Structures are given as structure tokens and as C-alpha cells.
Amino acid sequence: MASTTPLPESYNTYQLPEIKLSHHPASSPHVTPVILVILNRPEARNAFTEPMTDSLETAFTVLGADPRVKAIVLTGCDPTNRTFCVGMDLALASTGRSYHFDKPLRREAYRDGGGRVSLAIHRCPKPVVAAINGSAVGVGITMTLPATIRVASNRAKIGFVFGRRGLNMEACSSFFLPRLIGTSRAMRLVATGEVFPATREDVFGGLFAEVVDPDQVVPRALAIAEDVAANVSGVAFQLSKELMYRGPGSPEEAHLLESAVFFDMIRGADSKEGIRSFREKRAPDFRASLEKDPPAAYPWWEEKDAEAKM
């Protein structure tokens, strides 16, 4: 989904409620290849609200459309590194001052805020590294499931606690969670609503690419994002992600689709640059874009309209 918002000259000064954006390094006056998106309600442990929903949706749409940006790191503002996001702001929700609960709304028009954010992250063509620098429960963890890579604090507590709040799964987690860790592990997390340490590999089964000390979460996520931004073709990444999430249902169909895409990619500018830079032992300079020169098979799926019909 293309952004209709003009691209900012600087993300350091780009204002969105309840989040902040930053160049990396922050001192750079120019837009950098890696941008941080930071949940910015530390006084409320970054609890998720309607304004935060709108801001995250806007941020990932704008960053996805910005050719200067190659990778994104999502994290939470907490100087103590104890909390990434505590989930939905229950205090606001109970007063009817958030999530449209105080407005006339048809059931058919309602879209959960976590789902809107998850779709924005999923549809963002840039790699997204979630730096889970503290505990995350509810939508605090489900919004990170569409991220490309997740790095978590070894002191973080993680919980899919919906059942204990009388709620069902949201934020597209019924799609992403079982695909990431398997149905059996996903069912345990959802059925019990139990909170576990992020270090429990037996429970989370590879959900987190790395689990590190709290003060190393953001630096490690940034290092991964920098490496991807410098060395990976954005077009190749985007196509591979879509092949996995929007691919066909059998090995034979996958073979046919991959072959059709590969036919054009291996003749494309980024493939030529990738091979040339490898032979010349230098960093690649990938410049291709799906907008300008997509493979003939792209897109191979029909986009589902998930916008609310008010």
C-alpha cells in the first residue's frame, strides 16, 4: 500500500503521537538507511492506545515508501529496559476513551488496533527488526510477530494472555504465531495465557532469533539491521518474504512460482550487482525496486481489502 504522505526531510523531527522516530546514528542530520521506531509512553510502560495505533500505522507506511530507508528497528522507550509494551491500555479502555468504544460503530466496520499495526508491519517492504528490550504481553508481543527478526531481553517476560482477560487472539496473531512456532506451542501459550521468560526456548521455539542482556537488545538489533541494509537486496528480501507468506499450497506449485520469479530476478539489475560485487570483493549497491521493474509474476496473489467500511 503506497503512502500518500510526503516523505519528511528528517525523521528526527517527524512528529507522531505516542511514538518517536530516530535516525541511526541519532546525530545524523540526514535520513539514514536504518530508522528506529520507538514506542514512547514510558510513564505508562508503553501501553498500547488508539493514537499509538494510528502513529505506528502511519510510520510503517511512510518508511515503507521511503527509498532512503533500507531497514527498521522497532523498540520501546524504557531507560530501565524492563518493559517493551504491557499491552492494551486497560485503564483507558475501561473508561471508553480508547479503541472507539465510546463511538457508534458497526461490527462490520471495527478493526482491532493491533491488527492494523501488524498489517502495516507485514505490508512494509523493508526488513523490520523488533528489539524487545523488556517484558511484552498481549498486543505488546503480538504486534512483533510480523517483524522479520525478533531480538529479546533475557530478563523479559512474554505472555499471550488474552484468555485471562476474556479476549480472543488479535493483531493477526492467529495467522502468524502458529506459523512461527508451530500449532502445538502456539496452542499452549494461548490456552494457558501463562507468562514465561523469553529464555524458555522449549516454550517459544525460535520465536526470538537472539536472547541477550537487556542493554544489548537495541545495539544487537541495530547491528542486524545495519548488516541487512548494507548487504541485502530489498527486492530480493521482499519477494522471498512474499513467497513464504503468500506462497501456494504444495511443493510443486511452489516450484513453479519460484521458477517464474527467479527467471526474471537472475536477469535483473540487483542479481547482476550482487554477483559483480561478490567477485570484486566489495559492498553491493542494490538499486532495483519492485515499483520500477517487478518480475512478470508479481504480484501473484489478490490483495484482500481489510480497510474498515464506516
Instruction: For the chain, list the strands marked E by DSSP.
Output: 19-23, 34-39, 71-76, 83-85, 128-132, 135-137, 149-153, 157-159, 195-197, 210-212
183-206 confidence digits (pLDDT tens): 999 999 999 999 999 999 999 999
Distance between CA 76 and CA 19 in Å, rounded? 9
HSE of 51, CA atoms in CB hemisphere, 13 A: 13
Sole residue written with cell 513467497: 243
Distance between CA 165 and CA 246 in Å, rounded? 32
The segment(s) of the chain belonging to CATH 3.90.226.10 are 19-230
Distance between CA 298 and CA 261 in Å, rounded? 8
The reported pLDDT for the residue numbered 108 is: 72
Q: What is the architecture, at CATH level 2, of domain 19-230?
A: Alpha-Beta Complex (3.90)
The reported pLDDT for the residue numbered 94 is: 53
The reported pLDDT for the residue numbered 10 is: 98
Q: Which residues of the chain have pLDDT under 50?
A: 1, 96
The reported pLDDT for the residue numbered 305 is: 86
Hey, what's the torsion of the CAs at 267, 268, 269, 274, to 10 degrees?
-70
DSSP single-letter state for residue 46: T
pTM: 0.94
